[in-house]
Structure 1
């Protein structure tokens, strides 16, 4: 008889493992690419926000500097008088005033407007130029950082710019400060403090992924890194709240005075992953897949060799050779190690898989068949039956409970009271399931519920609070067991807000008010829930919509809930109706703090 080898199983397993490996690695590569895309998106949004903050900070600093210079001018009497005379006097009169003032203050030193502005240039590096405009003389004087000044007559273009509030020039944006005579409060002229707009280019280059635009209320652009959109379109879209739609980007906006900053990054570019990173992830995936294929091939080849040894042994047995023995790999690994049971176990070499079990059982079978041939069949069969009975014995539930209690006491003796408390709560719940009668007291039900919630307190530490309110006279009221645990479990599965720490569950026991049917309807008997009770379980979790609650209540009332939806609550509702009557059961309401309120009605006399 021809015995086939293990090649068919080898190819089948190789195909299955390869398919699983491809699916898993492909999923991991896709996951890492998506995670990288998400990180790039977060980084781009953070850079866009930081760019906006940096540009706004520069505007605020420039505005503060302009305000400081203006205040210093008014706080310096000599410089202020010099400016007022400069703006109102003719050149020869102004020079006479400066000469007289210098002679008068030669001991203390004379300081005019040129020195004041030069000190301002030295103090503030971002200040690029200062322009004075005299209303009476209609004259413009520009001061630069190199200490030079340029005078010219006021032209129509300059005046028109002042009237329209256009304070932006090429490479410069300015703040307008009025200069008035303190004695009459009449405006004598104005001062334009110009600052370098090139700073915005440095900010944009530092955060190069996003685009930056700075403009004035007069529709003049201070700086823009992209000239794709017109400033008029930008301002119109901003007023309509459609700026993100126009730019097709994530936008950060800010404003300081008459200046606006817009930093944005296109949505496609924000989450774009560099091609080199994608290639790297794909190459890593291919490398991992190659290593996985080598491991799978090695493992399956080893498995095939072991199967072939078993098949060869079976072939020899079929030929009548009962002396054949199949080598067991776990025993071979043990023999290669130094002597000492503890050393072998520590290294984890003493292991036995299914094929070793088959080989061992095969060897035992051959030995027993050999003994059977030697007329020891009956004794060996009895021994085998005794062994099988021992292997098939089941663990007694009480033994498991007692063992769990022993583990708890060991944990307490070792000082781990928290683990002991968890084991105690689990043991109490387990004991209630295997020992308690179907009808217990309300005190027992609440006790088991508390122990059940204690297990969740260890799982969700510092994330929720539980409170039980039950008058003492209701504690001895009988109730069917395990009506609260499914409701509490339903909250922890569907209702708890994992990202919050103010979750709470409140259990309140109340006695139902006595109710009777209206006599106008012709009924005299008492309502079903007369002398009844209700347990209210309320939380502040995710809750349900009003429509969903109404639909669930209809299903609960007619006992038509689908098997795959809220099985625990449906089961409790069905049991309450079966034991206490159709008027009792479960009813859902919206909680007082946005969660869910579950009301369980039952009769206390059953």
Structure 2
């Protein structure tokens, strides 16, 4: 109930409060929507940039590992290119180590220049690459393992199948790059679990039969060198996994020494999924090298990169919302204040106080309404003053109309008797004049205030006909109007007073060429009537007095059916959409122009 009362008192009946609320809702919704989509697209861009950085880092890791693999393959290829070296390596792997030493002594004593020691060759390769932790030569036939380590350490390990797992481990190598076998690593006393192995079979060039394997252990930490410059650009971590999930490289250092627990999910997740937590996942799998590069970017960690953006957008959105609400609210409050002043003024006018004035000087719509309101009150005051005069004049008019209606048939019958007498005496022109006068008199005493244009023109013609007969061949007239205007309504006796002015003041009785022309036409919804003569004209001083009289207020002394009467009646019926214009000069004739809308106003 309380909420309903508040709604009725402060919202339902208050247009401006509703405007502020509606605008606020629209502003909040628009800004919130814009902010959401801005944040969404910018955060997507940041995420994509993070993932692109991670993919670039993965590519560098992959290129680094491939370079190490190619280095091992080049090591073997260079061995094959040197025939003496290839023979020595093959001999080493097919005979006992003591027999190989004896062979090298024989070569030295025989001055066999050009022969290359296999042990020295591989030792030099280890020294050339500081990333190599161990280089292993395994003899398939003699089943021994020669190990060369950094810092010029070498060992020869016998790997009898009955007492060692080394032969089995070597036989199970099924890829080019993998995680070092745990038993092999323990056998060669290598405690570091952060290693990856690159191996290549070694064959006898004479028989093409595999005689052993070359296995190189690289330090996995050296892969971090490939990530130089990406330390602050990678969200999450990068893994290099061997087949079976063994961890070759882990930038986070978490999963070394064990299988990656989520390896079985990597092939089923499409771009993102649940690992330790919800994460973005990228994979890179080189062909036939036996490993896979994986990039894992936890969503929570990636979100940190656009957290500042989110806070900034929230701050800007809140500021925009406040500005979008406060500024229009102040403007609307000012408009409401001015509007309420107009309403209070109107309510005072309702009580009869027409002295109220708003006096708003601003040029906007409310200022225009206020000035129009003040002008309306001024007009209303003047109109009230005129109403009393109009009512008095109306009473006189009604009295005159009542007097004019007293037994009009008596007057018609009397004129008819006179007309018939004139006919019996042969005075036909007098009978015609009496007939026209009787018809005119009958039309004038009728109560209608509006007649058709055809009827008004006919009354004008009958009036002019009286004077044509009176002046015989000294006067002629022309009445012309568009046929489609015949049924249009106009004020009764609008033309007769003007024509009468010409007969009384403008005709030249001594001349034979007196002409009066009455024409009516319609242009753009306005009916225009011109009454033009070639009479004596109006002197300029008198013409100016007549024009000035049009601007004077109506008074009781004004009477008759002159130009002033015609103009006032047009204004009463048609308002400002009508007019009377007078043009004349001495001995140049007079032209009176009347115009009014095609239809009178509804309140007429």
TM normalised by structure 2 equals 0.49
Q: Which structure's CA Rg is the greater one?
A: 2
TM normalised by structure 1 equals 0.49
